[in-house]
Structure 1
Amino acid sequence: MSKLAPLSLIAVAGFSGNAFATQYLSMEQAQQAIFPEASSFKSLPLQLDAAQMKQVEKLAGLPARSVAWRTVAAYKDDKLLGYVVFDDVIGKFELISYAVGLQADASVHQVEILAYRESHGFEIRNTNWRKQFVGKTATSGLAIGEGIANISGATLSCAHVTDGVRRIAAIVQVALKK
């Protein structure tokens, strides 16, 4: 084995972290997957005020984290179907990009994983795991062990996405619920 071989192995190992990044859906594809019956989507930039941020924290048991949220309203003709909110959370080391579809009553309609950048834990994209969120609200079963099952090997990804979905459900309940 040459003296250069160990260096080449180190170089390959250093680049392997990015090899796991996978883009599953664009924002537009996620909107369509969440509300396939929608005839239109309208950008709905959401800005929370200080009082709303406190309400979100109380409902979710988590800080609102940001005043600005990427939100889209889904319509079938003139009828509001619900909202899609886009967010990123940390997995173990890298960001997980995801979208949460919510009904107008702020209950979860669907969760989609847009991009996953970790080497482990990609199982959170499995349909059966994501289906656990459907119908839940910020105050009903949106926690690991209390309505959402953990996935071995994806503990942090499960916990962080679940917390993110609960935060988003609280945001929609506070700011947009009809």
Structure 2
Amino acid sequence: MNTFLLTAARTTCALTALASGSAFATQYLSADEAQRAIFPEATTFKAQPLDLNAEQMKEVQKVSGLPARSVQWRVSSAWRGDTLLGYVVLDEVIGKYELISYAAGVNPDATIHQIEILTYRESHGFEIRNAAWRKQFVGKSAQAGLAIGEGITNISGASLSSAHVTDGVRRIAAVVQVALKK
């Protein structure tokens, strides 16, 4: 193969790699930044990894209407002095092709306090990071309002991302309800 064709082939491969979904990854917040954004009044965050047992997994599926998906959850509790403010649960869901990393802040009563998008890797659909869309989750529980069309509006052009994040948040609300609710 001549040098020109070899260079052209390498350039095409490089451009193809850059055009993949991962080339669009944007990290908005770290886990620590998300915790502080969700519970700014907290004085302490305590790592509280959660391992669900088989019975809890079944209960999460029953409460959320979704597969429990994971035994292990990355949870931190947020405290102001001796007062529990809530929990921050880190999770990832698939968008259309790539993972979306997000954090869900959950109140001690298992209602949603706030959600934050940490990393978005898709080429389209970044609108799920808009504050107005994320605000729809506040105050909702696994049984009430955490579904597309039932309290959460879909985003045109980001329908899979918005549906998958919504399902993920509903699953997290169920995990907190089943395993951590006070």
Secondary structure in 1 matching 2:85: strand
Question: 2: CA distance between counterparts of 1:114 and 1:105?
Answer: 24
Q: Which letter maps to 1:165? A: V
**Cross-structure match for 1:15:** 18
* Residue 19 (structure 1) shift: 2.1
1:121 aligns with 2:125: yes
Structure-to-structure mapping, 1:15-54, within 5 angstroms: 15-17=18-20, 18-54=22-58
DSSP 3-state at the match of 2:45:
strand
What's the CA shift string for 1:88-115, capped at 9, x where partnerless?
0000111100000011000000000000
SS at match of 1:143: coil
Cα distance per residue 1:4-61 (max 9 Å; x no partner): 6863345313322232001111000000000000000001111111111111000100
5+ residue gaps, structure 2, are none
Q: Deviations over 1:137-166 (max 9, x none)?
A: 000010001100000110100010000000
* Pairwise CA distance, 1:3: 5.2
Which residue number corresponds to residue 87 of structure 1? 91
1:155 aligns with 2:159: yes
> In percent, how many aligned pairs have the same letter?
67
Regions of 4+ moved over 3 Å = 2-7
SS across alignment from 2:140: coil
The aligned counterpart of 1:164 is: 168
* Alpha-carbon distance in 1 for matches of 2:17, 2:74: 33
1:146 maps to a residue whose letter is: E
Instruction: Give the SS at the match of 1:66.
Output: coil
RMSD: 1.3
